[in-house]
């Protein structure tokens, strides 16, 4: 029996973030393989209620290493919780029994701590890479510069393998360390969650789901929706802190089409899937920059599983997997009129739009279904 530890992302098992979901699905994919055991370590909890410090969630074993399962309110307790959680995690990794580590983090100091432990114990350690490091770390502070130097000079030198999410990130890895083994892991989801037919309160709408922190993307969608009148409504299912959500609501409140734009938050996953599956089309335009070209939004896998047409951008990994008017509708120039015309096209051609949605599902079930990656991950780990 081989055991794999998954580290580096806080909030499991109850966080609804894409990073937490990917970590869970990697664990579930590996668990499908014979003689493989997985455990996720969580060094910080962000919940406001108590839960078991260790247990099994959706078939995945987890362990909480910080002091409190309830996230503390005062600064001293938060700092104590953080320090204890990290030290306790390091000690557990130092003395427990396992064979491989998969770590999900951009914090080079934290990663190097685990690399040193792995080297001392002669264990293999790998890193999931879901974002371009440079475009996501633009701060000029001394600590940020130090972390960047450590990341490119030491992390990518001493890590045993990486799981890039995109071709662009793979190319950056090769530039830094061409000998480093890699296995590209795209976005994936659990297609079983999308088989049920679910009813929702709304009909005849386009839908975007994502963080309110991506305000530029949300503004682009709203502006595209309002520039020329559409028959359908626009639903924005957004998450984020109070200020981020208020910024979106404030932008909408004075628009002439404000009554046709509906914002929703805090949906159950089952209800969210229902909104996906009943939409006219699912929106996920990307910004024409390195940051968006390198990332691969988790929502795209969920959109495919929903069997609805996807409207996105002919950029990055989307360009590598999707073909315009075959399994998606793609904008080329990031112009609001272009996105509006594709939404109009869906309204006027529902039969053809449904066929695009079906082709999207076929592509996703083959490439973005987590069940198809357990063997690949295990074989990669055993080869490095």
Q: Cα–Cα distance between 159 and 52 in angstroms, integer?
A: 32
Quickly count: other Cβ atoms within 10 Å of residue 34's Cβ. 7
Instruction: List C-alpha distances in Å: 15 to 24, 45, 213, 241.
Output: 11, 9, 17, 14
Q: Residue 261 — very low, low, confident or very high, per pLDDT cuts 50/70/90?
A: very high
pLDDT score for 133 = 75
Token pair of 314 as six digits: 């002919």
Instruction: Kindly list the structural domains of the chain, giving each domain's residue range(s) and its CATH number in brackets, ordered by start.
Output: 2-188+370-383 (3.40.50.2000), 191-367 (3.40.50.2000)
Instruction: List C-alpha distances in Å: 6 to 10, 35, 125, 214, 261.
Output: 11, 17, 10, 28, 40
Task: Express each pLDDT in 7-32 by its tens digit.
Answer: 998 788 877 777 888 899 999 999 99
What proportion of the chain, given as a percentage, has pLDDT over 70? 99
Residue 86 has pLDDT above 90, yes or no: yes
Residue 372 has pLDDT above 80, yes or no: yes
pTM passes above 0.85: yes
Q: Cα–Cα distance between 244 and 372 in angstroms, integer?
A: 36
- Residue indicated by tokens 């004075």: 254
pLDDT score for 272 = 95
Q: Cα–Cα distance between 343 and 231 in angstroms, integer?
A: 10
Task: Express each pLDDT in 127-184 by its tens digit.
Answer: 999 887 776 666 778 888 888 899 999 999 999 999 999 999 999 999 999 999 999 9
pLDDT score for 144 = 82
Contact 304, 368 (CB under 8 A): yes
Task: Express each pLDDT in 189-203 by its tens digit.
Answer: 999 999 988 889 899
The edge-to-edge listing of strands for the beta sheet with 100-103 is 54-57, 60-64, 36-42, 2-7, 100-103, 124-129, 161-164
Residue 340 has pLDDT above 80, yes or no: yes
| 17-20, Cβ contacts within 8 angstroms, sequence gap of 24 or more | 18/297, 18/298, 18/299, 19/104, 19/130
């Amino acid at each position: 029996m081989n055991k794999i530890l998954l580290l580096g992302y806080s909030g499991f098992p109850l966080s609804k973030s894409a990073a937490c979901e990917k970590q869970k699905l990697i664990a579930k994919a590996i668990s499908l393989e014979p003689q493989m055991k997985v455990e996720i370590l969580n060094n910080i909890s962000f919940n406001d209620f108590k839960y078991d410090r260790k247990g099994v969630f959706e078939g995945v074993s987890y362990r909480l290493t910080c002091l409190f399962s309830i996230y503390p309110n005062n600064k001293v307790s938060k700092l104590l919780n953080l320090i204890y959680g990290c030290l306790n995690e390091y000690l557990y990794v130092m003395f427990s029994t396992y064979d491989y580590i998969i770590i999900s983090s951009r914090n080079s100091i934290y990663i190097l701590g685990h690399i040193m432990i792995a080297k001392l114990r002669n264990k293999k350690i790998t890193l999931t890479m879901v974002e371009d490091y440079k475009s996501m770390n633009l701060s000029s502070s001394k600590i940020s510069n130090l972390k960047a130097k450590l990341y490119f000079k030491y992390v990518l030198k001493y890590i045993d393998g990486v799981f890039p999410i995109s071709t662009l990130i793979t190319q950056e890895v090769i530039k830094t360390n061409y000998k480093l083994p890699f296995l590209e892991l795209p976005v994936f989801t659990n297609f079983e969650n999308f088989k049920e037919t679910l009813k929702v309160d709304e009909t005849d709408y386009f839908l975007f789901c994502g963080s309110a922190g991506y305000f530029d993307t949300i503004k682009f969608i709203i502006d595209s929706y309002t520039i020329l009148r559409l028959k359908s409504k626009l639903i924005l299912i957004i998450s984020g802190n109070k200020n981020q959500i208020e910024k979106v609501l404030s932008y909408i409140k004075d628009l002439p089409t404000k009554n046709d734009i509906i914002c929703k938050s805090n949906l159950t996953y089952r209800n969210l899937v229902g909104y996906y599956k009943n939409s006219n089309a699912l929106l996920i335009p990307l910004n024409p920059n390195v940051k968006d070209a390198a990332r691969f939004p988790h929502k795209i896998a969920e959109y495919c599983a929903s069997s609805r047409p996807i409207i996105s951008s002919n950029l990055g990994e989307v360009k590598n997997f999707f073909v315009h008017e075959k399994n998606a509708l793609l904008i080329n120039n990031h112009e609001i009129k272009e996105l509006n015309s594709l939404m109009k096209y869906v309204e006027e051609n529902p039969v053809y739009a449904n066929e695009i949605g079906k082709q999207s599902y076929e592509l996703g079930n083959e490439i973005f279904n987590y069940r198809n990656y357990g063997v690949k991950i295990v074989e990669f780990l055993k080869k490095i």
